[in-house]
């Protein structure tokens, strides 16, 4: 029988917290940029200008058709070399965190784009007609009338995608970046208590994601009755 020994966890908490900070930074940055870039992609895809619509559709289909771990590897292996040559960054500079954040942000924006596009289409078209009657152009109607209503409807879905993103950050192990999961794995491997550390990491992920999902359910009930 395997004998569990949890004594290494208290001493590992500072290292695990450093890893959690990396996970939270990647999550927050990817959510912020993903929503902003995803909104622009959604508007381009709905644009009557064919070139913009085709570009946005191609971007979304590309990133939704490849595995996230492959995108992270692309950014880990290719982007630092390209950026280093472009901006004369010395070789050996640690760009793992920047590469991971860029990969997650660009990948998640494709998914946020589809959520936001559906949210925009859920707003009655009469809203744009009413805004035009008030003298607004298309851009003003989208910014002042359509998008506020769309985002109000999309909040639960955007938060749910954020929870999925938080879970997916564990994939940064491909670049040897010490996020929360990576930190737990390294500590467990060092102390010979890999099973305990991975179980502990799983409990932490469960508590955070379950709490966030309960918040999403409350928001769904709030907006459905509003």
Query: Tell me: the pLDDT tens digits for 177-206?
Result: 889 999 999 999 988 889 999 999 999 999
For position 87, what pLDDT does the model report? 61
Q: Supply the DSSP symbol for 142.
A: I
Secondary-structure class of domain 10-225 per CATH: mainly alpha
Query: Tell me: the pLDDT tens digits for 39-52?
Result: 999 989 988 889 99
Q: Cα–Cα distance between 108 and 154 in angstroms, integer?
A: 15
The alpha carbon dihedral of 138, 139, 143, 147 has a sign of positive
For position 59, what pLDDT does the model report? 95
Query: Tell me: the pLDDT tens digits for 70-102?
Result: 988 888 887 777 766 666 766 666 677 888 888
Query: Tell me: the pLDDT tens digits for 121-146?
Result: 888 878 878 888 888 877 788 888 88
Residues 6+ apart with CB under 8 A from 144: 131, 136
């Amino acid at each position: 029988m395997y004998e569990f020994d949890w004594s290494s966890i208290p001493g590992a908490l500072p290292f695990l917290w450093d890893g959690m900070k990396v996970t939270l930074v990647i999550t927050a940055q990817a959510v912020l940029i993903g929503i902003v870039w995803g909104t622009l992609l959604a508007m381009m895809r709905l644009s009557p200008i064919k070139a913009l619509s085709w570009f946005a559709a191609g971007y979304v289909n590309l990133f939704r058709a490849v595995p996230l771990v492959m995108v992270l590897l692309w950014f880990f292996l290719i982007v630092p070399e390209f950026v280093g040559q472009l901006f004369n960054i010395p070789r050996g500079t640690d760009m793992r965190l920047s590469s991971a954040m860029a990969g997650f942000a660009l990948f998640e924006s494709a998914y946020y784009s589809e959520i936001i596009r559906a949210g925009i289409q859920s707003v009655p078209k009469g809203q744009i007609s009413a805004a035009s009657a008030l003298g607004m152009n298309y851009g003003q109607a989208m910014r002042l009338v359509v998008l506020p209503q769309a985002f109000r409807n999309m909040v639960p879905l955007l938060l749910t995608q954020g929870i999925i993103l938080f879970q997916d950050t564990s994939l940064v192990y491909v670049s040897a970046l010490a996020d929360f999961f990576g930190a737990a794995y390294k500590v467990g491997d060092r102390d010979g208590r890999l099973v305990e550390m991975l179980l502990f990491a799983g409990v932490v992920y469960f508590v955070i994601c379950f709490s966030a999902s309960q918040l999403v359910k409350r928001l769904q009930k709030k907006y459905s009755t509003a």
